[in-house]
């Protein structure tokens, strides 16, 4: 396809919304025709986000299903529970959807209701949605009309564990994911807990008793291993703006394996997964602003525990960048179109 597709973004004022705008503004095959915000309707986008001056001449508008239905694709960068109320109508009118929130990530309606605290508005679509992890579902994404973009933690954790589980090399009932995220993962809304003076020079765990990303991770890993998954998932808030670092632990079943070769072989054709040389320790700053996941695999002291290090930018490979990657696959563009970005250092 050579013609530009028309794209709309619902919820353009948050961090994932502006990240979508940053990436799509220079995409060679995209025309952004609508950016919605109920609270900021009428405000020029570049007034709120001056980094877009000279690249985007649009104003925020009220969500209008008639306008959105004229788009080839609509991204939802909205709070959980918003997309599911508009998606059925847009799908009926032939508009394809990438939802960056969690409305379609879980296949089980009751589990979704348990974790998100409300009834699902269109449970009949849960089985139709394609989970947008390209490294797993690339073939299904090519024909998908509704894509559930993965969460940030689930992206880093699944990419780290997948080769081990697919090969059946580890005890899948005793997995541990020790994860750290930058403060932007909490969103753009004003909150005392994310003030600079509250987060600087401090680190804390949260959601230990239960986090919404846990069932999403478990669902994906269960499909990969075709067996029961036992997962301890502990997220932490760290004093940085962007980035996720996941330290993953899994017990080896038996014997020595060439895990470096396993990872390199699994991801050799993946444009956005970089398996680093043996002994490496990937840093979040190496993927800041870029759509890459960098991985390193270790077996400390030649023991029986595999340690995988996985880093991503939570706003790019963990959100907007992966959404653009999914769009590229859906419409037959080069998968890295609009995403040929090198991480920012320092």
- The CA–CA distances, whole Å, from 259 to 127, 161, 236, 275 equal 34, 12, 27, 11
- The CA–CA distances, whole Å, from 251 to 161, 176, 267, 304 equal 12, 10, 22, 6
The active-site residue out of 71, 122, 152, 293 is 152
For residue 190, which phi and psi values (nearest 5 degrees)? Answer: -65, 130
**CA–CA separation, 210 and 35 (whole Å):** 34
Type and span of the H or E element at 47: helix 45-48
Residue 152 among the catalytic residues: yes
**CA–CA separation, 152 and 42 (whole Å):** 31
DSSP 172-202: TTSEEEEEEE-GGGG-SS--GGGSHHHHTT-
> Using an 8 Å Cβ cutoff, are 145 and 97 in contact?
yes
If we measure between CA atoms, which residue out of 2, 1, 21 comes closest to residue 10? 21
Peptide bond into 346 cis (omega under 30): yes
For residue 287, which phi and psi values (nearest 5 degrees)? Answer: -120, 10
DSSP letter assigned to residue 44: B
| Neighbour order of strands in the sheet with 73-76 | 30-36, 5-10, 73-76, 96-99, 146-148, 130-131
Which active-site residues does the annotation give? Answer: 152
């Amino acid at each position: 396809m050579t013609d530009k597709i028309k794209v709309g973004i619902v919820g353009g004022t948050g961090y994932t919304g502006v990240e979508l705008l940053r990436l799509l503004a220079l995409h060679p095959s995209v025309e952004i025709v609508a950016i919605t915000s109920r609270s900021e309707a009428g405000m020029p986008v570049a007034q709120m986000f001056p980094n877009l001056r000279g690249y985007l001449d649009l104003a925020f508008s009220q969500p209008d299903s008639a306008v959105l239905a004229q788009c080839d694709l609509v991204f939802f960068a909205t709070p959980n529970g918003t997309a599911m109320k508009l998606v059925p109508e847009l799908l009926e009118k032939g508009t394809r959807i990438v939802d960056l929130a969690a409305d379609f990530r879980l296949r089980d309606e009751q589990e979704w209701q348990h974790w998100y605290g409300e009834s699902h508005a269109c449970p009949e679509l849960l089985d139709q949605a394609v989970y947008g992890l390209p490294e797993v579902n690339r073939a299904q994404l090519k024909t998908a009309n509704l894509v559930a973009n993965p969460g940030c933690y689930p992206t880093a954790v699944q990419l780290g564990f997948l080769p081990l589980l697919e090969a059946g090399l580890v005890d899948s009932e005793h997995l541990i994911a020790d994860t750290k995220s930058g403060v932007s993962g909490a969103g753009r809304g004003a909150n005392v807990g994310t003030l600079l003076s509250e987060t600087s020079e401090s680190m804390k765990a949260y959601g230990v008793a239960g986090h919404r990303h846990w069932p999403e991770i478990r669902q994906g890993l269960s499909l990969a291993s075709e067996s029961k998954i036992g997962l301890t998932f502990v997220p932490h808030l760290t004093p940085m703006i962007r980035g996720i670092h996941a330290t993953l632990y899994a017990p080896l079943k038996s014997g020595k394996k060439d895990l470096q070769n396993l990872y390199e072989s699994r991801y050799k054709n993946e444009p956005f997964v970089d398996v680093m040389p043996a002994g490496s320790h990937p840093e979040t700053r190496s993927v800041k602003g870029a759509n890459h996941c960098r991985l390193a695999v270790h077996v400390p002291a030649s023991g029986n525990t595999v340690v995988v290090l996985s880093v991503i930018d939570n706003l790019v490979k963990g959100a907007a960048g992966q959404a653009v990657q999914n769009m590229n696959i859906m419409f037959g563009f080069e998968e890295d179109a609009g995403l040929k970005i090198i991480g920012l250092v320092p």
